[in-house]
Amino acid sequence: MPKLRIEDLDKIVNEQKKITSLRDGAGRVKITVHMGTCGISAGARKIMTEVMHCIEESGASDIIVTTSGCAGFCSREPMITVEVIEQAPVKYVDLDKKKVKEIFDEHIMKGNVVKDYALAIGSEQTS
Amino acid sequence: MSVTPGKNVDEMKYESGGANGYRMYLMLCGGTGCVSAGSYEIKNALEHELEKYNLSNEVSVVMTGCNGFCANGPIMVVQPDGIFYQFLSVKDVPHLVEEHMLKGRPVEKLMFTPPDEKSVVPKMSDIGFFKKQRLLALRNRGLIDPEKIEEYIARDGYKALAKVLTEMKPEEVIQEMIASGLRGRGGGGFPTGVKWKTCREAPGEPKYVVCNADEGDPGAYMDRSIIEGDPHSVLEGMAIAAYAVGSSNGYVYIRHEYPLALERLEKAIADAREYGLLGKNIFDQGFDFDINIHCGAGAFVCGESTALMASMEGRPGEPRAKYIHTVEHGLWDKPTNLNNVETYANVPLIVQRGVKWFTSIGTGDVSENPWGGSKGTKVFSLVGKVRNTGLVEVPMGITLREIIFDIGGGIPNGKKFKAVQTGGPSGGVIPEDLLDLPVDFDQLTRVGSMMGSGGMIVMDEDDCMVDIARYFIDFLVGESCGKCLPGREGLTQISRMLNDICDGQAQEGVLELLEETCNTVTSCSLCALGGSAPNPVLSTLRYFRDEYEAHVREKRCPAGLCKNLITYSIDPDKCNGCMLCARECPQNAIDGEKKKPHKINTDLCIKCGICKDVCNRDAVIVK
């Protein structure tokens, strides 16, 4: 990796937007598994395995899976955020493998939010 | 989904810090989607245009939580009209301000009718837990992959470093930090800029920049979460500090018990080096800086600055007297700037967004005096007897009631709130009648507690205050390094007295002796660990003296917790003889026939409480 110059920062910003922003067309759905210490101890690794398993089973190729840190609401871990293109992100809490499968089939494949497991839509105010 | 004017007006008052008479509020979405679509650029443009028309005192621009229409962002709601604008861009702003804000004619082509809600999932910004939080240090929480430096850069990471290296002299950076009123988030509350200034001016080379990630308070994990979730924000903050004080060597002192944080920190440092963001000649501006990690073995006292540095030098982690300042004689006797993880995480944001923005959040006035207020936010780990445990970041000045009841969701199982302990094991306990206290450095100190690193433990009516004080003192006895007499022997004596009180062995006069010993330890200890260690005892004595007196005089524990002072019995009127408790009792201490009231044999009873837990009729009495 070459050393960065200041103007390279903006290039990375734009490249990243292409990779992570659904609006710019890299994928249809982004799933974020929250993997801080709290999430992992509540079973986030199993959730991640199940997400990968669901994707493999469905054969879908337009789903981005990524990890992130603690979302703050530690008592409701494991938690994932599902972002379908053109829609607001939805946070799901208190997950287990069965719920992940259901969310995958209903929300990610069919577009219906599974409201029984959803905490909220949208995101927090940052800075 | 519609916007309820009443509720949003409340939000506005909250955001703008009081009823200051704006006629119109522009609620601009500050959720992730809209921010990445440019809502902050729009905010600046709006403010610029409003100023041009002299409307700044009439119209306020407020950043809000996510509206949920991220696909149409940036979104703005104009209140009190309730008009929605979508897909805003900077070039729309002059026309919009002139037409709508000045002439009162809403701009139709930018307007948007929110679709009807399909499902009944609430918005993030409507959930109590998230609504009152304001994310500065945790600005990237849950949003970026902490192991990818590109994702941090994509959220404007390392731009503040670029800015200071190209546009600012070190003295200007320091001036900016002093003016921002940022105070040490590790608990001391010392103004960060003042510390940087002293370090810069201290004679001696090389200088060191150290990050204190030795978070040892029971129940506190703010620093861990920041490093796990956004390690680069800390590295960037350290690099800016290094430029300001004139250092090219940085260390992170992190405890070994944080394996995931350690792993991510190591990766972050390696990635930053690869990108040339650490190392020689950063951004070709002639500034060198690199960071190494030092693993602590998990001693609580090593969170104290001088003990931390002793530990880094390979000596036992023992503090030294405070009149020699570490900014002048720190690590290897060289000038050393030590700040906490959360402090560093705030730095890039202050550089980027400016002093005016940062000082608009928080309490007091820091324009003349950096001690004059508490600016920005504080991260707390909210734990204990509270419904929503978790990590919360709130603006300074928010009340304890808002944190515990609005964010934390109150006390579970229908119990009554009793007290909240802030500031870690050497913080104080704050009772119910002080719940409306605004949380900042000075207010917490005033009531006998402290900000500390940000642990917040909520207690309900079942918690015995003497037992709580004993728990913390016993922790501190174990963690005391033993170097000074008050810390070593004073704390041990305090622990003995508290144990006697809990066991019902204490004599009349013990409370006075306890107070005297506490005051001696406070004034004579070598370091802040010892000096603040009596806080849990002194604050509980101050607010819950009647509980201590009941233990000493009546040999009674009002909360029903101290085992030697309670007996279990069964209320014969309530017991229906179901045999459940008798079967569950591990000591076989409960006698009784089916359908007849049972009795507890107090000689055999070990007061484990299982009978009380299993009883369906609430017939077990603890006295």
Q: What is the pLDDT of residue A28?
A: 86
Query: Could you give phi then psi for residue B18, rounded to 5 degrees?
Result: 135, 170
- Considering only CB atoms, which chain A residues are within 8 Å of B133? 72, 124-125
- Closest by Cβ to B124, choosing from A16, A85, A122: A122
- How many domains does chain A contain in total? 1
Asked if residue A83 belongs to a domain, the reply is yes
Asked if residue A96 belongs to a domain, the reply is yes
Q: State the smallest CA–CA distance between residue B261 and chain A in angstroms.
A: 8
Q: How far apart are CA B443 and CA B191, in angstroms?
A: 16
Q: State the smallest CA–CA distance between residue B40 and chain A in angstroms.
A: 10
Q: Which residues on neighbouring strands pair with residue B77, listed in sequence order?
A: B27, B84
Q: How far apart are CA B262 and CA B267, in angstroms?
A: 9
Q: Distance between alpha carbon B64 and the CA centroid of its chain, in Å?
A: 21
Query: Does position B435 have pLDDT exceeding 60, yes or no?
Result: yes
Instruction: Report yes or no: B336 and B327 within 8 Å, Cβ to Cβ.
Output: yes
Q: How far apart are CA B171 and CA B192, in angstroms?
A: 14
**Residues B152-173: pLDDT tens digits?**
998 889 999 999 999 999 999 9
Asked if residue A20 belongs to a domain, the reply is no
Q: What is the pLDDT of residue B68?
A: 67
Query: Does position B148 have pLDDT exceeding 80, yes or no?
Result: yes
- Considering only CB atoms, which chain A residues are within 8 Å of B65? 122-125
Asked if residue A99 belongs to a domain, the reply is yes
Is there a contact between B30 and A70 if contact means CB atoms under 8 Å apart? Answer: no
Name the residue type at position B117. Answer: E
Share of chain B above pLDDT 70, in %: 95
Sequence-distant (6+) residues with CB within 8 A of B299 are B216, B307, B311, B317, B479, B481
- Closest by Cβ to B134, choosing from A122, A123, A125: A125
What is the mean predicted confidence (pLDDT) over B97-108? 90
Instruction: Report yes or no: B578 and B619 within 8 Å, Cβ to Cβ.
Output: no
What is the mean predicted confidence (pLDDT) over B251-274? 95
- Closest by Cβ to A5, choosing from B71, B135, B284: B284
Q: What is the pLDDT of residue B592?
A: 86
Q: Residue B135 CB: number of other CB atoms within 10 A?
A: 23
Q: State the smallest CA–CA distance between residue B516 and chain A in angstroms.
A: 41
- Determine if the peptide bond prior to B5 is cis (ω within 30°): no
Q: Which residues on neighbouring strands pair with residue B210, listed in sequence order?
A: B251, B338
Q: What is the pLDDT of residue B130?
A: 84
**Residues B504-531: pLDDT tens digits?**
999 999 999 999 999 999 999 999 888 9
Q: How far apart are CA B211 and CA B253, in angstroms?
A: 6
Is there a contact between B68 and A71 if contact means CB atoms under 8 Å apart? Answer: no
- The matching CATH number, chosen from 3.50.50.60, 3.30.70.20, 3.10.105.10, 3.40.710.10, for B567-622 is 3.30.70.20
Sequence-distant (6+) residues with CB within 8 A of A66 are A20, A30, A31, A32, A33, B145
Q: How far apart are CA A120 and CA B120, in angstroms?
A: 9
Domain carrying residue A79: 28-121
- Closest by Cβ to A81, choosing from B142, B147, B260: B142
- Closest by Cβ to B130, choosing from A86, A89, A124: A124
Query: Could you give phi then psi for residue B121, rounded to 5 degrees?
Result: -80, 130
Q: How far apart are CA B193 and CA B329, in angstroms?
A: 18
Is there a contact between B274 and A1 if contact means CB atoms under 8 Å apart? Answer: yes
Q: State the smallest CA–CA distance between residue A2 and chain B in angstroms.
A: 6
- Closest by Cβ to A67, choosing from B70, B145, B158: B145
pLDDT category at B16 given cuts 50, 70, 90 is very low
Is there a contact between B390 and A73 if contact means CB atoms under 8 Å apart? Answer: yes
CATH classification (class only), B466-553: mainly alpha
What DSSP line would sit under B376-443, residue for residue?
SEEEEEEEES-SS-EEEEEETT-BHHIIIIIIS---GGGPPEEEEEESSTTSEEEEGGGTT-B-SHHH
Inter-chain CB pairs, A–B, below 8 Å: 188
Is there a contact between A6 and B221 if contact means CB atoms under 8 Å apart? Answer: no
Q: How far apart are CA A27 and CA A18, in angstroms?
A: 10
- Considering only CB atoms, which chain B residues are within 8 Å of A126? 30-32, 35, 135, 139-140, 143
Q: How far apart are CA B507 and CA B510, in angstroms?
A: 6
Is there a contact between A68 and B145 if contact means CB atoms under 8 Å apart? Answer: yes
- Determine if the peptide bond prior to B438 is cis (ω within 30°): no
Q: Where is pLDDT greater, at A47 or B64?
A: A47
- Residues B506-545, buried b or exposed e (16+ Cβ, 10 A)? beeebbeebbebbebbbeebbbbbbbbbbbbbbbbbebbe
Asked if residue A127 belongs to a domain, the reply is no
Q: Output the CA torsion sign for B215, B217, B219, B220.
A: negative
Instruction: Report yes or no: B566 and B360 within 8 Å, Cβ to Cβ.
Output: no
Per-residue pLDDT of chain A (127 residues; tens, 9 = 90+): 678 899 999 999 888 877 766 655 668 898 999 998 889 999 999 999 999 999 999 988 889 898 998 888 888 999 999 988 878 889 999 999 999 999 999 999 998 899 899 998 887 777 6
Token pair in block for residue B608? 């484990």
**Residues B266-300: pLDDT tens digits?**
999 999 999 999 999 999 999 999 999 999 988 89
Chain B nearest-CA residue for A36: B228
Q: How far apart are CA A51 and CA A46, in angstroms?
A: 9
Asked if residue A103 belongs to a domain, the reply is yes
Q: State the smallest CA–CA distance between residue B343 and chain A in angstroms.
A: 15
Q: State the smallest CA–CA distance between residue A29 and chain B in angstroms.
A: 13
Q: How far apart are CA B104 and CA B90, in angstroms?
A: 20
Name the residue type at position B142. Answer: G
Residue B212 belongs to what H/E stretch? strand B208-213
- The matching CATH number, chosen from 1.10.3450.40, 3.30.1600.10, 3.40.50.720, 3.10.20.600, for B376-463 is 3.10.20.600
Q: What is the pLDDT of residue A17?
A: 75
- Considering only CB atoms, which chain B residues are within 8 Å of A40? 260
Pairing of strands B24-29, B59-64: parallel
Domain ranges of chain B: 5-120, 149-373, 376-463, 466-553, 567-622
Chain B nearest-CA residue for A13: B154
- Using alpha carbons only, how large is chain A's radius of gyration in Å? 16
Is there a contact between B135 and A67 if contact means CB atoms under 8 Å apart? Answer: no
Q: What is the pLDDT of residue A125?
A: 73
pLDDT category at B118 given cuts 50, 70, 90 is low
The span from the first CA to the last CA of chain A, in angstroms, equals: 31
- Considering only CB atoms, which chain A residues are within 8 Å of B123? 120-122
Chain B nearest-CA residue for A11: B154
Q: Distance between alpha carbon B591 and the CA centroid of its chain, in Å?
A: 50
Q: How far apart are CA B610 and CA B612, in angstroms?
A: 5
Is there a contact between B33 and A89 if contact means CB atoms under 8 Å apart? Answer: yes
HEC letters along B470-512: HHHHHHHHHHCCCCCHHHHHHHHHHHHHHHHHHHCCCCCCHHH
Mean of the per-residue pLDDT values of chain B: 90
Chain A nearest-CA residue for B381: A72
With H, G, I as helix, E, B as strand and everything else as coil, classify residue B233: helix
Q: What is the pLDDT of residue A24?
A: 58
Chain B nearest-CA residue for A107: B119
Asked if residue A66 belongs to a domain, the reply is yes
* CATH number of A39's domain: 3.40.30.10
**Residues B518-571: pLDDT tens digits?**
999 999 999 988 899 999 999 999 999 999 999 999 999 999 889 889 889 999
Is there a contact between B154 and A20 if contact means CB atoms under 8 Å apart? Answer: yes
Burial of B256 (0-12, 13-18, 19+ CB in 10 A): exposed
Is there a contact between A123 and B36 if contact means CB atoms under 8 Å apart? Answer: no
């969701």: which residue's tokens? Answer: B409
Q: State the smallest CA–CA distance between residue A65 and chain B in angstroms.
A: 10
- Considering only CB atoms, which chain A residues are within 8 Å of B63? 125
**Residues B443-493: pLDDT tens digits?**
999 998 888 888 899 999 999 999 999 999 999 999 999 999 999 999 999
Pairing of strands B377-384, B390-395: antiparallel
Angle between helices B231-245 and B159-167 (to 10 degrees): 10
Q: State the smallest CA–CA distance between residue A78 and chain B in angstroms.
A: 12
CATH topology of domain B5-120: Glutaredoxin (3.40.30)
Q: What is the pLDDT of residue B13?
A: 41
- Considering only CB atoms, which chain A residues are within 8 Å of B360? none
- Closest by Cβ to B392, choosing from A36, A72, A122: A72
DSSP single-letter state for residue A2: P
Q: Distance between alpha carbon B338 and the CA centroid of its chain, in Å?
A: 19
- Considering only CB atoms, which chain B residues are within 8 Å of A65? none
- Closest by Cβ to B276, choosing from A4, A16, A115: A4
pLDDT-wise least confident of A77-86, B3-12, B32-41, B125-134: B3-12
Chain A nearest-CA residue for B352: A127
Is there a contact between A126 and B162 if contact means CB atoms under 8 Å apart? Answer: no
Query: Does position B12 have pLDDT exceeding 50, yes or no?
Result: no
Residue to test with chain A: of B228, B277, B385, most A Cβ within 10 A: B228
Is there a contact between B225 and A68 if contact means CB atoms under 8 Å apart? Answer: no
Q: How far apart are CA A106 and CA A112, in angstroms?
A: 5
- Determine if the peptide bond prior to A89 is cis (ω within 30°): no
**Residues B349-358: pLDDT tens digits?**
999 999 999 9
Is the domain spanning B149-373 CATH 3.20.20.100? The answer is: no
What is the mean predicted confidence (pLDDT) over B29-55? 86
Query: Does position B332 have pLDDT exceeding 90, yes or no?
Result: yes
Asked if residue A100 belongs to a domain, the reply is yes
**Residues A88-115: pLDDT tens digits?**
889 999 999 999 999 999 999 998 899 8
- Closest by Cβ to A125, choosing from B65, B142, B261: B65
Is there a contact between B63 and A125 if contact means CB atoms under 8 Å apart? Answer: yes
Is there a contact between A123 and B70 if contact means CB atoms under 8 Å apart? Answer: yes
**Side-chain-side CA neighbours of residue A56 (13 Å):** 6
- Residues A30-43, buried b or exposed e (16+ Cβ, 10 A)? bbbbbbbbbbbebe
Query: Could you give phi then psi for residue B99, rounded to 5 degrees?
Result: -75, -55
Q: How far apart are CA B519 and CA B490, in angstroms?
A: 10
Q: What is the pLDDT of residue B190?
A: 94
Query: Does position B29 have pLDDT exceeding 90, yes or no?
Result: no
Q: State the smallest CA–CA distance between residue B225 and chain A in angstroms.
A: 7
Q: What is the pLDDT of residue B73?
A: 79
pLDDT category at B372 given cuts 50, 70, 90 is very high
